[in-house]
A = this chain, B = another copy of it.
Amino acid sequence: MPTRRRFLRTFTAPLVSLPLASTIGECRPQSEKVLRVALMGLGGYAGRVAEAMKDCRRARITGLISGTPAKLQEWSRRNQVPEKNCYSYQSMDAIKNNPDIDAVYIITPNALHKEQTIRMARAGKHVICEKPMALNATEAKAMIDACKNAGVQLLIGYRMHFEAKTLEIIRQRNAGEFGKILFFQGLSGFRIGNPGQWRLNRSLAGGGAMMDIGIYSVNGARYMVGEDPLWVTAQETKTDPGKFKDGVDETITFQLGFPGGAIASCLSTYSMNNLDKFFLNGDRGFAELQPATGYGPIQGRTGKGELTAPHITHQTVQMDEMAAILLDGKKPVVPVDGAEGYKDMVIVDAIYEAVKTGQKIAIRL
């Protein structure tokens, strides 16, 4: 419905366009409330989210949080967000009293997620936090607890959990079409550029490729196999210690063992381009995704042929679905809540421990 969407986009800004409310009500069931989202951290990925949200039916940007006044000004103009809904990191606790904002989407360096999530929870807002949700499982647990205590929901930016070809594979797996699942392979990597960026700063990123791109194989292993792993082993190699300092992993291979007997064999790297491949193998069939987690279009196939589900911008679907979760209590096929993010952090912690100790590490979720 591009026409209706464009109509809504134009006419619902500025923000609270009360005169139109009844008109909107006619087009949309009463229950379909719109999730009003403040974006926190106006970097490259936030730009992608904002662009994608222009096509959302059920979510729109109503607030902005940034440490850079010029960015707030530019973004506020471009997204028709009134100045009163724009915050700095100093002033953002005042969002508590802002009735125009239901949820805050945190898109900042990993090291900031914990404190920011807790502050926004305390301000009574639902939190959507980009992945990895934190630097480690301890932080993740604190975030979950803070949201629970504040009575708000915590979601993690797992856009792939709503991607159509991924969901089709999960549907087929659940229907037994691949038989007993035995193997998952995930290759997640790209060649990282500018050595000065926060992703290569351990204190901001909490690690290296694993935190940023390897997490796709960690998470993908779980949603593709459909189980949570029992153990992990991992190996690290570093070809450029100048670029990848101590504590910033360049390349890690890791293996996960699952209760049903499946094993996952994965690669996380900042030194190889265009590695974005999932392969799931059962005793009666297989599924492949390549690209598997990029911004799309995702391409997938099984033994029966190519998957044909159409591409929709991931962040558009994600934000519409997250609106349904937060506003209507909808249950997604693959969870995107804090508990889901916590599992990945436990596994990442275990991967780093496995690298350090050379031991097989038990995963306790």
Contacts and interface: CB of A to CB of B under 8 A. Distances in A.
Contact of A267 (B183, B235, B267, B360): B183
Interface stretch (A1-9, A17-25, A257-265, A314-322): A257-265
Given A183-B269, A271-B182, A272-B182, A261 B283 contact: no
Nearest to A237: B263
A358 interface: yes
Residue among A182, A237, A251, A272 with the highest chain B CB neighbour number at 10 A:
A182
B235 A257 contact: yes
Interface residues of A, number: 30
Interface in A134-189: 180, 182-183, 185, 187
A271 B283 contact: yes
A235 B360 contact: yes
11 contacts: A182-B239, A182-B272, A183-B275, A233-B235, A235-B257, A235-B360, A237-B262, A251-B263, A265-B267, A271-B283, A272-B281
Given A233-B235, A237-B261, 18 more contacts: A180-B239, A182-B239, A182-B272, A183-B251, A183-B269, A185-B187, A233-B233, A235-B255, A235-B257, A235-B360, A237-B262, A238-B261, A251-B263, A263-B267, A272-B281, A272-B283, A273-B283, A275-B281
